[in-house]
Structure 1
């Protein structure tokens, strides 16, 4: 299986970013440790059950997101690039198919910029999700900011 990050154009990406009051190490830990990630991953009202979380390149991340509407959404992902503490990328093996690229940049001690890119093979695939996920990604960041209060890295 390929571990390359796909090359995209801006019209086949969904990009969200936020500056958080946390060190780059804290942010990386919130993403890389399942005991933190399960608490904040997903939009408002969603919870997670992690079945597998092998945080290495080629490692699997299988989980179920439980929606507030009582729906259960299976997710199967594979980590394709990890550069501690500045980058985490994975690709989804469950539909909808896309890659996720998170980058972290420490702006000053205790302040980190997070850029969240969803990368699609085509503009059409990107446009199917764009109307729904932009606001949901912001909810995800809201939950992350709350969880960062519990990260001591």
Structure 2
């Protein structure tokens, strides 16, 4: 038995791996697609390096702001990013793996949450939200 909840999503995008990686590594591009449907974003800090910080305000369609604080743990340029989400509510680790695929490039998105009563009750919502992130990313890449 583990003390973590793991959520994994993956999708193949019709672009090369470097283009897919750049969609995250470029804050201006990242603001175009980050978050589920209906959100807009404003990035105030983005230091894509181990120990670097990422501060983003996600604004829901009803105008509610969610200030998020992240710390980058591991970066393998063009291939892998591990980042830890610290605020506002859920603390979790997100690992993004970028791989070549016959259809373009595959993004594997793995989230690790501490197993709590709250995360056990709502983890299934995160998987669906992640697919919305991927939908928005796909649209931004066109």
Structure 1: gaps (5+ residues): 1-7
Q: Does the CA contact (< 8 Å) of 1:21 and 1:112 recur in 2? A: yes
Q: Does the CA contact (< 8 Å) of 1:14 and 1:126 recur in 2? A: no
Q: Deviations over 1:56-76 (max 9, x none)?
A: 111100111000121110100
Match in the other structure for 2:85: 92
Query: SS at the partner of 2:35?
Result: coil
Query: What TM-score do the two structures reach when normalised by structure 1?
Result: 0.85
Query: What TM-score do the two structures reach when normalised by structure 2?
Result: 0.91
Distance in 2 of aligned mates of 1:99 and 1:10: 14
Q: Post-superposition shift, 1:88?
A: 0.8
Deviating above 3 A after TM superposition, structure 1's stretches of 4 or more consecutive aligned residues are 8-11, 123-126
Structure 2: gaps (5+ residues): none
Distance in 1 of aligned mates of 2:106 and 2:40: 25
Query: SS at the partner of 2:91?
Result: coil
> Which of 126-135 and 99-108 deviates more?
126-135
